[in-house]
Amino acid sequence: GNSVTQMEGPVTLSEEAFLTINCTYTATGYPSLFWYVQYPGEGLQLLLKATKADDKGSNKGFEATYRKETTSFHLEKGSVQVSDSAVYFCAEGSSASKIIFGSGTRLSIRP
């Protein structure tokens, strides 16, 4: 079946550092791609999405570009803040009824 692979955590950065979290997928065709974020003690919430190749999703300073040629959807932010500390999940929706999640990457930001 399809799968999503994202970089292992935890990732620890200093405030204002540049962030990249890698994500690749195996689905063929043109799945929709998502990044979800989970803050401590909460459920997941959508951070951004892209539904076709070369689209860029963005929200709260985070960006990710749908790269069909490398089957990737890497998450980036130019200057992270302490409030960005959370677990980040990459996901793909190629099936009409399921969304497949990666294993999550825990991000900690030091003041």
Partner 1 sequence: DAGITQSPRHKVTETGTPVTLRCHQTENHRYMYWYRQDPGHGLRLIHYSYGVKDTDKGEVSDGYSVSRSKTEDFLLTLESATSSQTSVYFCAISESGDRPNTGELFFGEGSRLTVL
The residue ranges that bind partner 1 (CB under 8 A) are: 1, 31-32, 34, 36, 41-46, 49, 51, 89, 93-104
Q: Which is nearer to partner 1, 28 or 97 (CB)?
A: 97
Q: Which is nearer to partner 1, 27 or 80 (CB)?
A: 27
To the nearest whole angstrom, how small is the minimum distance from the Cβ of residue 111 to partner 1? 26
To the nearest whole angstrom, how small is the minimum distance from the Cβ of residue 103 to partner 1? 4
To the nearest whole angstrom, how small is the minimum distance from the Cβ of residue 22 to partner 1? 15
Sign of CA dihedral 94, 86, 80, 24: negative
* Distance in angstroms (rounded) separating the CA atoms of residues 98 and 34: 13
Encoding tokens for residue 23?
A: 């994500």
Q: Which is nearer to partner 1, 77 or 88 (CB)?
A: 88
Question: Cis omega (within 30 of 0) on the bond before 10?
Answer: yes
To the nearest whole angstrom, how small is the minimum distance from the Cβ of residue 49 to partner 1? 7
Q: What are the residues whose beta carbons fall under 8 Å from the beta carbon of 12, sequence distance 6 or more?
A: 107, 108, 109, 110
